[in-house]
Amino acid sequence: MAQFALLITLVLLPDQAAPTQSIYLMGRALAIFALFALVVAAFFLRPSLTALPEPRAGAPFITNGIYRYIRHPMYSALILFGVGAALYKWSIYAVLVAIGLFVVLSVKYRYEDSLLRSKWPEAAEYQKKVGALFPKSIRPTYK
């Protein structure tokens, strides 16, 4: 719930005048890229997609596509969206909300990782090799 509340707050905060057009455009571009990355991650996670950190019953353990590089690309995308929004909204409130979003998602991915390890034995090895929010390398590190 906190994640959605923070995202809604971030979207509803008014835009301030960024100090330069470049910062504003960079923030917008980052936010748009993040939304695209979110859709890509959701596409690969389709059979296991849920807003909750608990794995869906009967869902497969996904390690292909973007999940070969990042364990939680949807969380990464939301964090990048927060950074982009903080740039184009250019307010201390947007920065604080983006930081709050990062904290909430960091706690959530750690909890989710523990649930995945308890459900799938191969999750522990996967989590050692693949970065949580950002790739450990640009080459696939799993399978």
Q: Are 62 and 116 in contact (CB under 8 A)?
A: no
Please write the tens of the pLDDT for every residue from 67-83. Answer: 999 999 999 999 999 99
Q: What is the pLDDT of residue 57?
A: 85
Q: Which two tokens stand for residue 93?
A: 């409130």
Mention every residue, 6+ apart, whose C-beta is less than 8 A from residue 96: none
The residues spanned by each domain of the chain are 7-12+20-47+63-129
Q: Crossing angle of helices 2-12/92-119, nearest 10°?
A: 150
141 pLDDT more than 60:
no
Reported as a single tens digit per residue, the pLDDT across 25-79 is 999 999 999 999 999 999 999 888 887 788 888 889 999 989 999 999 999 999 9
Q: What is the pLDDT of residues 10-25, one digit of tens each?
A: 989 988 887 888 999 9
Q: What's the pTM value of the predicted model, to 2 decimals?
A: 0.87
Q: Which residues pair with 131 in a beta bridge?
A: 70
